Every structure is written in C-alpha cells, then in structure tokens.
Chains A and B, each alone.
Chain A
Amino acid sequence: MATTVEQTTAPAHADEPIVPLRHPGRWVAAVVLAVLVAMFVSFLLTTPQLRLDLVVGYLFERSVLRGLLTTIELTVVAMLVGVALGTVLAIMRLSDNPLLRIVAATYVAVFRGTPILVQLLFWFFLGTVLPNISLGVPFGPELFSVSTNTVISQFAAAILGLGLNEAAYMAEIVRAGIGSVDRGQVEAAHALGMGPALTYRRVILPQAARVIVPPTANEVISMLKLTSLALVIGLPELTTTVQLIYGRNFQQIPLLIVASIWYLVLTTVLTVIQARIERRMSRGVLSSPVRRTRFSFGGR
C-alpha cells in the first residue's frame, strides 16, 4: 500500500496523531556498551591474579583507613590555607596600593610557575639550607629561634607545599569572581555609606561566591588527588600507605584498586556537595529549572 506524502495543510488532517522522532542510534550504542561491560565483568571474574578477595580485605584495613583519614585532613587543611591566602592575594591584586599588587602578582607567578612536586620537596628539605628558623632584626640580633626540622614535619611540609601552591590558583579564581561583580554594586554600597571592608564582606564577596564556588569545588577534588604526591616525602596518606603494603606483599594492582575505590568514593561525595552548594548559591537568580538527565529509547 503506497503512502502519499502530503505537505499541504488541510482542516481534515488537523487532528492526526504526531509520531515522535525515533532514535535507532541509541539501540546500537546500548548493544556495543553491553558487550564491553560483559567483557569487563568476565575479566574481573575469570582473572584470579586480580585477587578481588584482597581488595575487599584491605578496603577497611586499619592502616588504609588511617591513610584515608590523613588524605582527608591534608585536603581540608591545604584547601583552607589555599582559600584564605588566595582571597587575601586576590584582594591585594585588586588593591590601589601598587606594592601590594606587585607582591601578589609575584607570588602567583612563582607558585604557579614551578611544579608542585618540586615545591613539596623544597619545603621538606628546607632544613638542609636553613637549619633554624629565627625571628630578629635583619643582620642584627635574634629574638627567637627554632629548629626547622622540628617545625616542618612531613605533614607541615605537605601543607606548605599543597596549600601555598593552591593559594596561587585560588587567587586567580577569587580575582575572576570579584571581577564578575558589576561596578554598580560597589557604587550602590558606597552610596549607602558602606566602607571598603563592609562592601567586600556584604556585597562583593557574596556575589563573587557564585562565580568562585564551582571552580573551587573542582580545586577541592583536584586537591584530594594531589595529596597523593605526599608520597615523595613519605607522608603516610592513602597512596603512600597502599604502596607500603604492596611493597611487602607485591599485590600492586589489588591495593591500587583499594586506593582508587576510596578516591572515587570521596570525589563522588564532593561532587554531590558541590551540586548542593551551587543550588543554594543561585538564590536571587531566576533559576533555570534543574535539568535532570533522562535516558529513554526512541518512542514508547
């Protein structure tokens, strides 16, 4: 039976049903994906060398959990240092005082311009060139002195390396956020009698936060993984801990899977938190309805 194609409108056809566009490509993709998943599952189940029993056994092992805790501590403290110092650097960078601007710009240049691995080692080995940290008049008498190696522990070196490096990146993020706030907002705040500090606290930073938070959440996730670099200074965080274990039992892959699972768990939690904060911060902006990802095959 031949169908006739009619392109003209006619009152008689006005009530004809509409057939939605079909998506055959999705079916093809689904089949390909199903085959790949099946291959992966069969690899997992039929490869005894993977030692999934060891993965399960070490996942909640005490030293692994201790390493995990250290990783979380490192992430939190380094980010706090980074955000606080980064905000100060951003405000310095935007200051009217040319000296402050130069200091902030130099800081960012130095800490962004050298590898973080080098910075970590630098702080760790600082004691070799500077045995004592002392406070006093330059070229004059010392008022206070302490041995560098007692102040800069592994943890402190890691915080310095990760936090000071992070501050340089956060400074740029905060600066972009502050720059995104309309100039008229500052004028309105000033016209209401707000001083510079109050204007920053009540008007600029809350609005800049909307621009600052999403990249900062990315920085947190990135920091979580960067803490694994503390391996080079022997700080027993998650990666160092599993390395110590597979150094003894030679089960590298099962233990690296253990570490990966924990990193994935943490980044997933952080991603959920990030989405929540962003939703809260969009107050006052006519929000586009949250788009939920739906997966449907063509037609029904």
Chain B
Amino acid sequence: MTSPSTTTHAAPVMEPLMVEAVGVRKHFGDNEVLKGIDLAVRPGEVVSLLGPSGSGKSTFLRCINHLESIDGGEISVNGHLVGYRRAGGKKYELKPREIATARRDVGMVFQRFNLFPHLTALENVMEAPVFVKGVARTEARQTATDLLARVGLADKPAAYPAQLSGGQQQRVAIARALAMQPRLMLFDEPTSALDPELVGEVLDVMKGLAADGMTMIVVTHEMGFAREVCDRVVFMDGGVIVEAGPPSDVFTNPQHPRTRSFLSKVI
C-alpha cells in the first residue's frame, strides 16, 4: 500500500507524515477563520485546497510555515512542530531565528510572486542558498542556472522582475523556492494574479514538480489542475474542512451540499 502518490485517503499507519495538522484554530480579532482543521499529508502527495474566498484555505496554508501563528491545535512538518518547542508538557514559542531555520524545508509560492525587485532572476534564485545556507556563490550560480532552465527561463537570468511577464515571474518564484531544496512546497493561489494565457506555463511547471514526486499543497481555483494533478482535494468552507477525497470522487460525486453548490458555480 505504500506506492507513492497515487492511492490516497487513509494514510498508511507507519509512514511518516510530511504535514500533520490537528485541531488548528486561528482567529483575527473576533473573526474565527479556522475552526479546527485536521489534515495529514504524506510525502509525495499533491493536495489542493479548494473553497470559496474567505473559507480560510490561504490562512491555513500560511499557518503551515508559520507566516501566521495559530491560536489552537498544532501543526507539524516532517516530524517537527511548527513554531513551538515541546518540553515538559508545554509548548514554548520559538525565536524568530529558530522559526527561520525550520522554514528552510518548506518552499512557498505567493499569489503576487513577491520576487525581490532589486535583484535579477538569477540573483533571486541564488539569494537564499548563498545568504541563508552559506552555499558558495559559484555553486549557487550553477544550481540557479539549472533551476531557471528547469522552469523554462534559461534565457532570462539577467532580467529584473519588472522586465518579466507575470507567468515568467511566477516561474522564477518557483525556482527561487526550489533552490532551498524544500521537502514541501506550498502554493498560495499561484495563478490567480496571471493573465489567462499565462496560467498554463505556470501550471506546467507545477505538473512537472508533482511528477518528480514533490509534496505539494496548492490553494487554487484551477479546477482542471486539481482534477488532473492532485492526489486529493480538500474542500473548505467557513473555516472547516467540509469534504476531502480523491478528485475523481469529489468532483464527480460530491457528498456535501456546500461542495456541490461551489463546484456547480466554478466548473
């Protein structure tokens, strides 16, 4: 039963989980945006989080690498508690530098790319290996060049972000995240800010990543991508997971009325 990334829902008992979220709660002031999220993601799995805007899916994604702190429950990535250290029956908040170290294993791609505008495409990709990991420049340059080629931008190393199209920027952003050799990649609506004709080039890179066995959690509105590439889709609404399962089940035979109504609007 341990064949990678094809069969899904019930996670095999002994395999270590890449992401394990238990009872995750989060509120902004009086507004409770996550009301107890449980989710387990195995290595190599590709999971998409679907749901209407305001359902909490982006917030949950940001909690996984502690860009948002959580108010209840806990999350662990690759066997390490996110944001806290457990000792003597208590959870101690980590220092910013310890959190930074923990984030090296988790790559993130943002809706608005967030490339560093003062650096070229190549420098964007080299930045974290050189300054966070202390990789030698020549080595980092080689890796970055290879990564840019992998996302189809071998000809753009010297371009500044402002000189690239949205799709190209997002592909540089993916290369930048991959440069840290993450074990998990988080995508926060990676194609939502793109012109329609540029969506495909970004999705193609993500499909390639999935095929190479990268563990991915993708918040998206691209139903085609979710259906075609993901092992599992998780439908969220109102801060809870309403329904989860293989795309073939959820898309063709949604169980919950809210899933049905959402899918009928977006497909």
Q: Which residues of A contact B (CB under 8 A)?
A: 182, 184-185, 187-196, 198, 202-203, 206-207, 210, 283-286
Contact = CB atoms under 8 A, between A and B. Distances in A.
A191 B61 CA distance: 12
B210 interface: no
Interface of B: 65, 67, 96-97, 99-101, 103-104, 106-108, 110, 112, 114-120, 127-128, 131-133, 160-163, 173, 176-177, 180
A193 B96 contact: no
Contacts of B103: 190-193
Contacts of A187: 67, 110, 114
Given A207-B117, A284-B118, A202 B131 contact: yes
Contact of B118 (A190, A198, A283): A283
12 contacts: A182-B114, A187-B67, A187-B114, A192-B128, A192-B132, A193-B104, A193-B133, A193-B180, A194-B131, A194-B132, A202-B127, A285-B160
B176 A192 contact: yes
B121 to A, nearest CB: 11
A195 B110 CA distance: 19
A198 B131 contact: yes
Contacts of A189: 116
Q: Please indicate which of the listed interface residues A191, A198, A285 has the most CB atoms of chain B within 10 Å of its own CB.
A: A191
Contacts of A185: 114, 116
A207 B131 CA distance: 17
B160 A283 contact: yes
Contacts of B107: 191
A185 B113 CA distance: 9
B160 A194 contact: no
Contacts of B161: 284
Given A194-B128, A194-B132, A188 B162 contact: no
A286 B162 contact: yes
Contacts of B180: 192-193
The 10 nearest A-B residue pairs measured at CB:
A188-B114, A193-B104, A191-B108, A192-B128, A284-B160, A184-B114, A195-B100, A195-B97, A193-B132, A193-B103
Contact of B96 (A191, A195, A203, A283): A195
Contact of B117 (A198, A202, A284): A284
Given A191-B106, A193-B133, A194-B100, 8 more contacts: A184-B110, A189-B116, A193-B103, A193-B180, A196-B96, A196-B97, A198-B100, A284-B117
B117 A285 contact: yes
Given A191-B67, A194-B100, A286 B163 contact: yes
A193 B133 CA distance: 9
B119 A193 contact: no
B160 A191 contact: no
B228 to A, nearest CB: 26
Q: Please indicate which of the listed interface residues A184, A194, A203 has the most CB atoms of chain B within 10 Å of its own CB.
A: A194
Nearest to B66: A190
Contacts of B96: 195-196
A188 B186 CA distance: 12
Contacts of A207: 116-118
Nearest to B163: A286
A263 to B, nearest CB: 34
Contacts of B100: 190, 193-196, 198
A190 B67 contact: yes
A202 B163 CA distance: 21
A190 B96 CA distance: 9
Contact of B116 (A188, A190, A193, A210): A188
A132 to B, nearest CB: 41
A202 B132 CA distance: 11
B6 to A, nearest CB: 29
A126 B216 CA distance: 65
B18 to A, nearest CB: 17
Contact of B112 (A184, A194, A283): A184
B133 to A, nearest CB: 8
Given A190-B67, A191-B103, A206 B131 contact: no
Contacts of A285: 117, 160, 162
B226 to A, nearest CB: 23
Contacts of A202: 127, 131
Contact of B127 (A191, A192, A210): A192
Q: Please indicate which of the listed interface residues B117, B119, B160, B163 has the most CB atoms of chain A within 10 Å of its own CB.
A: B117
A192 B104 CA distance: 6
Q: Please indicate which of the listed interface residues A189, A206, A284 has the most CB atoms of chain B within 10 Å of its own CB.
A: A284
A284 B162 contact: yes
Nearest to A197: B97
Nearest to A181: B117
Contacts of B104: 192-193
Contacts of A210: 118
A206 B108 CA distance: 22
B177 to A, nearest CB: 7
B68 to A, nearest CB: 10
B231 to A, nearest CB: 24
